């Protein structure tokens, strides 16, 4: 379980990006985090991977306090959470295969494992035929699918996606959403931060709404109300 225990984040003394956020996310849930620009969605996600530290409160992943980990301990916990971003963050000089393999190399995995796992995740995202393509040879939707494959390859328990469809047209947006649903059905917790009202309404899953850094709605089968 992911547990935000009364978490606040203050970047500048005059305003809080998050205020007293308490949130539990159970294994295998699909949760959308919605809210206007500046509401605190990215801040919330960054704290889960310890890219930002809360000013107050604590964050736990299965009982491990993320906020209390040393730099040496962090990579192991970060590998349990796959990350996907709006701008893909693929390495331009590497092929799809190499981008995904790189995440496994960084995790210290052996070549045999890499050769076995990379085609598996490429197949899962429907891009086995683009294995040797470079990012500039891929469409936006394809780039995002490679990024999702990379996020999955170390078999994380959680995938967090921060506005993953922000640069995509409606058709590619749905391909990515369907893929996230499929990944969730295979047993991975999905946390999706998005502005996209249509996605959230159509998903019919849990919705947590942030407004000025506070949770103003948390509903199973929610709709985007802000
Ligand atoms: N590094 C930072 N330093 C100072 N203030 C920051 C920093 N990062 C974010 N903020 C502020 O914290 C608040 C929340 O920002 P955050 O990026 O979490 O919002 P968001 O909901 O992700 O917005 P968007 O939908 O535009 O991505 C905003 O007021 C923002 O200006
Ligand atoms: Mg954001």
Q: For residue 68, how far is its CA from the centre of ligand 1 (angstroms)?
A: 23
**Residue 68 within a domain:** no
- Give the pLDDT confidence score for residue 208 in this predicted structure: 96
Using CA atoms, how far apart are residues 41 and 53, in angstroms rounded to an integer? 15
* 61 belongs to a structural domain: no
In a domain, 11, yes or no: no
Nearest ligand to the CA atom of 52: 1
**What is the residue range of 119's domain?**
27-53+75-219
Residue 169 lies in a domain: yes
Q: How many domains would you assign to the chain?
A: 1
Query: Which CATH number fits the domain that encloses residue 194?
Result: 3.40.50.300
156-188 per-position pLDDT tens digit: 999 999 999 999 999 999 999 999 999 999 999
Query: From the CA of 213, which ligand is nearest?
Result: 1
Within the chain, strands assigned E span 2-9, 18-25, 30-34, 56-61, 64-65, 81-85, 158-162, 189-194, 206-211, 214-219
Question: Which ligand neighbours the alpha carbon of 16 most closely?
Answer: 1
Is 35 within a domain?
yes
* pLDDT tens per residue, range 56-107: 999 999 999 998 899 899 988 889 999 999 999 999 999 999 999 999 999 8
Residue 65 lies in a domain: no
What is the distance in A from the centroid of ligand 2 to the CA of 37?
7
The answer to whether the CB of 194 falls within 8 A of the CB of 225 is no
Whether residue 23 has pLDDT greater than 80: yes
**Pocket mutation for ligand 1, best pick of 42, 47, 215 (most atoms within 8 Å of C-beta):** 42
The alpha carbon of 39 and the centre of ligand 1 are apart by a number of angstroms equal to 7
Contact by Cβ (8 Å): 193, 163: yes
Task: Compute, in angstroms, the gap from residue 196 CA to the centroid of ligand 2.
Answer: 12
pLDDT the model gives residue 226: 59
85 in any annotated domain: yes
Task: Please indicate, yes or no, if residue 195 is contained in any of the structural domains.
Answer: yes
């Amino acid at each position: 379980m992911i547990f935000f225990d009364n978490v606040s984040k203050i970047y500048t003394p005059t305003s809080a990006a998050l205020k007293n956020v308490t949130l539990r996310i159970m294994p295998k849930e699909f949760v959308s985090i919605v809210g206007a620009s500046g509401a605190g969605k990215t801040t919330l996600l960054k704290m889960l991977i310890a890219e930002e530290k809360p000013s107050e409160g604590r964050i736990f992943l299965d009982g491990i306090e993320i906020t209390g980990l040393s730099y040496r301990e962090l990579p192991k916990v970060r590998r349990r959470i796959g990350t996907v971003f709006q701008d893909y963050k693929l390495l331009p000089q590497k092929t799809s295969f190499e981008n995904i393999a790189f995440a496994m190399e960084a995790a210290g995995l052996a070549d045999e494992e890499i050769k076995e796992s990379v085609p598996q995740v490429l197949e899962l995202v429907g891009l086995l035929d683009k294995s040797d393509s470079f990012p500039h040879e891929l469409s936006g939707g394809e780039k995002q699918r490679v990024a999702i494959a990379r996020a999955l390859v170390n078999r994380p328990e959680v995938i967090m996606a921060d506005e993953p469809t922000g640069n995509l047209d409606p058709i590619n947006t749905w391909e990515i959403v369907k893929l996230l649903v499929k990944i969730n059905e295979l047993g991975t917790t999905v946390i999706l931060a998005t502005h996209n009202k249509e996605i959230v309404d159509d998903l019919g899953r849990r919705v947590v709404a942030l407004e000025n850094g506070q949770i103003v709605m948390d509903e199973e089968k929610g709709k985007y109300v802000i």
